[in-house]
Amino acid sequence: MSISLSFLILYPIWINMAQIQQGGPDEKEKTTALKDLLSRIDLDELMKKDEPPLDFPDTLEGFEYAFNEKGQLRHIKTGEPFVFNYREDLHRWNQKRYEALGEIITKYVYELLEKDCNLKKISIPIDATESEPKSFIFMSEDALTNPQKLMVLIHGSGVVRAGQWARRLIINEDLDSGTQIPFIKRAMDEGYGVIVLNPNENYIEVEKPKIHVQPSSDCSDEPAEKRERKDKVSKETKKRRDFYEKYRNPQREKEMMQLYIRENGSPEEHAVYVWDHFIAQSAAENVFFVAHSYGGLAFVELMIQREADVKNKVTAVALTDSVHNVWHQEAGKTIREWMRENCCNWVSSSEPLDTSVESMLPDCPRVSAACSTEM
């Protein structure tokens, strides 16, 4: 564990102050001297030595990375893969850098869905006002008009967004491993319409408005001397708290608040909304789902809420490491029976592909994916 420069400098001073404050009146002079020393330390400058600014590029070029012809993320100059520990012993800074790159990757995948896969970005809710929070999904041109078959893709939980299976695989492996693009292209080549859900885009973040507290007028009969003494203690406490907070988090990030998207405030809500307004309205005689991890749970929830409609329209469901649980989700007997006939869950296993894997749950068959399906 690394010890910051500012901690090494300030900790002995804090200890000395604590020890001096326990002494008698003759120690007041030392206390005053130490307080003066602390007041002359430029904390902002000291913190800059601990952690670089959390100010990162907003393009791949700015990070000096690009995807090569194999879809691998490589450094423009060195050709090396992405390095997480860019600054040694600065885990928080490295993590923030990784997250900033991840946001750029998300936008890059969105562009690929539109340009390479020819999908359309559709805003939801479909009747949203100009001012309310919105999300979106992606659809092929024939998603609602293809009379034969429609493929629906649902990713898992976490930071992934539409078109992704796993951000980590996109960054550390390649686009084919971490995105849904190979699934989309093959489906379209084989005559499917395609709908790509975006179940984790549940809210937008805006900066929290600052609340200005008006000082209350003191109408009590409390003596002025006592009030002044209390005010002084309160100011000292606030000053000390601000000091420690500034040390703990010198680059205080903006306080944000979440504004949830109407009828799409969770992956489960999103799946039902897209079903009602798009999938159920499609002309396709046969609908197929591919759902990973939490996407499987969202599909089961969709079945619980729209059982008759799903049974009537969905032909088959391919799950990968689905985390659904028919007991916890209270899926009825008829749903469990339908899942046994129409669903299959490919799970992480070293067994040969499609080897049966024992399951404790009485729902769909589980078979080996012959590798890790971690996405």
| Positions marked active-site | 293
In single-letter form, the type of residue at position 41 comes to I
The residues, ordered by sequence, that sit 6+ positions from 44 with a Cβ below 8 Å of its Cβ are 250
Separation CA 97–CA 51 (nearest Å): 12
What pairs with residue 289 in β-bridges? 152, 317
CA 44 to chain centre: 30
Whether 284 contacts 147, CB under 8 Å = yes
C-alpha closest to that of 72 among 64, 80, 63:
80
Q: Which two tokens stand for residue 258?
A: 């979440």
Report DSSP state, residue 26.
G
Separation CA 240–CA 253 (nearest Å): 20
Whether 325 contacts 350, CB under 8 Å = no
Q: What is the dihedral of CA 125, 128, 130, 134, to 10 degrees?
A: -20
Peptide bond into 362 cis (omega under 30): no
Whether 139 contacts 188, CB under 8 Å = no
Separation CA 114–CA 134 (nearest Å): 19
